[in-house]
A and B are shown apart, each in its own frame.
Chain A
Amino acid sequence: MSDSAAHQRDDDPEETEPPSASDADGSGDGSDPTTTGTPDADGTEPTDGTNATGATSVVSALEAAGAETAFGVQGGAIMPVYDALYSSSIRHVTMAHEQGAAHAADAYGVVAGEPGLCLATSGPGATNLVTGIADADMDSDSMLALTGQVPTEFVGNDAFQETDTVGVTRPITKHNYFAGDADSVGDVVGEAFELSRVGRPGPTLVDLPKDVTQEETDETPGPAEAPPGTDPNPEARADAVEAAARAIERADRPVCLFGGGVIKGEASDAARSFARTYEIPVTTTMPGIGSFPEDDDLCLSWAGMHGTGYANMAITHTDCLIAVGTRFDDRLTGGIDTFAPEAEVVHIDIDPAEISKNVHADYPLVGDAETVLEQLTAAIRTVPDADEWREQCLEWQETYPMTYATPDDEPLKPQFVVEAFDEATDDDTIVTTGVGQHQMWASQFWTYTEPRTWVSSHGLGTMGYGLPAAIGARVAADTMGDPDRDVICFDGDGSFLMTLQELSVAVREDLDITVAVLNNEYIGMVRQWQDAFYEGRHMASEYNWMPEFDKLAEAFGALGIRVDGYDEVAPAVEEALAYDGPAVIDFHVDPEENVLPMVPSGGANGQFALSEDQL
């Protein structure tokens, strides 16, 4: 076991070369792109771009694996890789901050269905990626992060800009790698790229010491291959499928629950035909939004903390829950004791560890969502007899409609803004969000019909996700040949402030996105919880010192519009959508509006509150 010696170290300092005098940028002020000298003393000359090096291997491996776009920020330890990108077909989008690069890559992956790619230098570059990597990990998004590292012989010496990136990102990646030598680095990068997408997707990372990327090599990387045993069997066991089929046939009150895995597994078509063939009402999770059209009669929209009343009623009263590609997150289940308490659970998932992790699966079906839904369809002989139940579900839709009031004496309602954008745009429009109330309204009051159109931060709940995600989504749509697709970011004022420097990127790259800031001058979700659970004590949640976002947008070179009233909404939406480039609309919305319905944390889904006094 060589665990303690993670990397080969040169134990004899006498043998290392003295600090490189040719280190032109060794100003030592900590802001220079490379280092103060010593950690660059790896005895290798920078590549002149002609000989194959570790770095050129990395880039050819990426090209061979099909990577088309990268998002990142330059810096000393990653410079060789950037230099190799200079003559590559891969498009690089320079971001303002590495967190933005990670979110952009993540969203790019969500929209394109291919792993997103982000790059950062060692130390602070790598640590700035961490939030974005953790976000991708929680949402099982495929993404490859490449980080520069100090030269191998300095690793462990607290060298300039050294961070144990592999150690820091170990719990938030599907797997991560420390590149050992120039000969194999291309294969490692190819493997990491493939691993991020096979089976249950997730982020991977390769840490690239500068000596490895600078060193010359004669090896050319082979085709990208996932490690053996990581690409699971798509089919569920036949006997398990038969048993589940019998359970579904005899159900009186069946409900489908489609999770993000349906979208990641490209199973939306299979899921649609499954539910329609057996006339089973459908709920989704938040990441599952778009897996099933929300304008379909069978669709009850999404369940959970701020899900619809009818979805939560259906999921509470079902006797057979057909859950596909979901990990039963607590925001979905509420208190586990009251979650679908009378349901036999059929659970389809590619990851066996998700089976019975949070909710016991009576019928576990481990396999690929599309394949297993087809297996089930072949096995089910009769449509469950559930006319009454479907009636009941329709009735709940009428009993608990998703409405909001628009009284004259109250400010503009945020829900109205979401609906206005939905009406003005096509079905293929991509929506990204920050995290908070605006995120909930964007998911509740927009009618999603297509997979990969809802791009949000679910599991980690990362404020600041929206704008860089819109950039990644825009670049993905453009790469896919859909320049006319609209990309709308619904952001909160608090969330926007966390990453708005990325507006500079949108302007520089001339990216056609619209940011709709639902500005309530609060970090509104916190304010809502303070009103409900902390006697209205607004500690650190009032943001009444907000900048004027329209002016700020103009300062960046984007279109900036301010909206205060209902009359101004439609013209502003139209102007922003017509504008060819980034636009920001600062909607001053009702600061007191609450997100409803609401199941309090750990509460029973069926007991969702419809007003604050029911909490």
Chain B
Amino acid sequence: MQAFDYKYQQLEPVKSFKRVPGPEMYVPGHRTCAGCGPALNYRLVAKAAGKDTIFIGPTGCMYVANASYLCTPYAVSWIHAQITNGGAVASGIEAAFKIAMRKGRHAGPFPNIIVMAGDGGTVDIGLQAMSAMMYRNHKVLFICYDNESYANTGVQTSPMTPYGAATTFTPPGKEIPEGKTLFPKNAPQLVIGGHPAVKYVATTTIAHPLDLMNKVRKALSQPGPTFLHMLCPCPKGWLFDEKMTREMARLAVETGMWSMYEWENGTYKYTNVPKKYKPVGEYMKHQGRFAHLKPEHIAKMQAFVDEKIKQVQRPIPVAAAVPGKQ
């Protein structure tokens, strides 16, 4: 694998809220729903990344509700990608900047190249393009803003939609009372398990803004591909009160529905681990998408989460040893 030998940006961690960079790179004027988690996420990511950034926006809410009527809220360069190909378009942009720097057309710095993809654009129809980008070792940060459904098309089930959620493709009914019967994919593990070129993966939520921004900055300071999985509650898809977007993300962590961790070069670091997890019902009860569930369904969800949080105490071993930094 060829080393990445272009001058790229090193972004220092932001120590406190007071030191958060001022300039907004994702500006007001977009058309997302009130309380939209992914929009808040975009603002934080763009702030953390700063002006020397290029966003790739695969089709999804963060395209359609942002870039409407020929006007967009991005103060940095941005390009629409198909929902299918965020990773591939980013690869091409990265390759173009390499050649531009080799030929002296672009003096630097190497841009922060960020794909801002929905869960569908990451783990479903966009998976192939993301995986190949990572395999080829492009210096690209791939972000999955996870609102746990194909939201933009009217809230259909995606591989990140939790068990038991009602979506427009998994309506609960007499024959299928729980709505969604499948359990979701594990997005970060898909990346960690199969992409030796990736040295940094992390999860976070919009309820942890400083943590979120610092993970963005750390990911962008790597010389190769990186991945962030960000929980972004969606009031329209999950059917909760739009005032509670941050509360939903916080409860997800407190109940173990979501775990916060960093994986760096083979080592896991879990943060925000609750002393005692709240029952999942505390999270689910606020959301209309779970309103139809019976106690046995909630018990099934609890069992799933109980199993999942075992990994938090016992970090998941990596299948193959990852070589250290050269």
- Are chains A and B native binding partners rather than an unrelated pairing? no
